[in-house]
Amino acid sequence: MPEPKMIRREPPEFIRFSAGVAVEGVLLRIGRVRLEKGPASVYTVRRDNGKLCRFLGLTAIDDQIYLSDVGKKVCVHCVGEDVHNQQEGKNAMKVFEIDVSEGRNEVATAGDDDLGITDDDLPF
């Protein structure tokens, strides 16, 4: 019996949002990770080019993307920072425009399991 063909999988690109950065594609998974500051959501998206990316859920994202959106096309666009309501000594909150398709594009999974990501894995 011939050996099965092996396909190298690249790790998902980690997205760090700043003004002008956008992610568009099918939401495949919403997971949870434990960071030094506490638990956080992590979103996995398959972009239109087939490549995977991940990003952490900030409050503005978590408030607008739901578990029921898994399998739907999403567009998460960071339009800037809310400097008008910035608290002294703290970073300004990022402002997002988030669009979600009405129907599912594909079957995907959502989970609350730990993906093994720690603060050491994050590039900031």
For residue 93, what is the domain's CATH number? 2.40.50
Residue 121: inside a domain, yes or no? no
Name the phi and psi angles at 62, rounded to 5: -60, -30
Q: Give the domain extent around 58.
A: 13-114
Residue 4: inside a domain, yes or no? no
Residue 3: inside a domain, yes or no? no
Residue 42: inside a domain, yes or no? yes
pLDDT at 106: 59
Residue 124: inside a domain, yes or no? no
Nearest to 31 by CA among 116, 123, 124, 122: 116
Give me the tens of pLDDT residue by residue for the chain, a chain 124 residues long. Answer: 889 999 888 899 999 999 999 999 999 999 999 989 889 999 999 999 999 999 999 888 999 999 999 999 999 999 998 877 777 777 778 999 999 999 776 554 444 444 444 455 454 4
Strand stretches in 48-112, DSSP E: 52-56, 72-82, 93-104
How many domains would you assign to the chain?
1
Task: Please report, for residues 19, 83, 119, the alpha-carbon distance to residue 22 in angstroms, rounded to integers and kept in the order given.
Answer: 9, 20, 23
Residue 107: inside a domain, yes or no? yes
pLDDT at 21: 96
- Give the DSSP H/E element, type plus range, for residue 60: helix 59-62
pLDDT at 112: 40
Residue 1: inside a domain, yes or no? no
Q: Are 61 and 16 in contact (CB under 8 A)?
A: no
